[in-house]
Chains A and B, each alone.
Chain A
């Protein structure tokens, strides 16, 4: 069963506006981590933000914030004041369990392609 779901294959946003990229997840483990990565056309994966399942507050990193709703199992990425350089593919990923274990591998969603328009 798919564990990470990104329902938006692509989105447009006007420069300087905020945009929300959706991500829902499914896990039976109480300890997990949620990540967002940005992949520009060059292909590199750029780490944006992390949210632990036990974190009390929503994570924020500059213009990026994560709207973590644990009961709904959603971890939407909010980008404020969009810039042209934000145009890229965005991937939501989940790692379980939160710590310990030999392989804390990431499971990726299918991605959302964001296009910022001037």
Chain B
């Protein structure tokens, strides 16, 4: 299957600092990428949809000024957590949409980034 990478795999930062997470599709072009957040022992919650060349679409309740998304190219989307606080500590995981053929598409996930804000 298609490969999606994320960097960094984990990060610890101090409260108030900003953290950037990169998501790359390695062997396919992804016009759409998705950012999810997962708290311990919970399911994935979609935060936003990242569209190449346009603004991201945020889910209800997600602060767009806090979670900045930039989809700079067909293979790269970045999520910046601005002024991170301890409650932002979570597992952030991205996915990239690969269209197999007209009626089938699959989302392939990156390995995730564990963020710990102290």
Contact = CB atoms under 8 A, between A and B. Distances in A.
**Interface range, B side:** 20 to 34
A100 B51 CA distance: 14
A1 interface: no
Interface in B29-77: 32, 34, 38, 42-46, 49, 51, 57
Chain B interface main SS type: strand
A6 B114 CA distance: 25
Contacts of B114: 43
A52 B104 CA distance: 8
A107 B44 CA distance: 8
Nearest to B97: A104
Given A33-B105, A47-B109, A99-B105, 19 more contacts: A33-B104, A37-B109, A43-B38, A44-B112, A45-B112, A47-B108, A91-B44, A99-B102, A102-B32, A102-B49, A104-B97, A105-B34, A105-B46, A105-B49, A106-B46, A108-B44, A108-B45, A109-B43, A110-B42
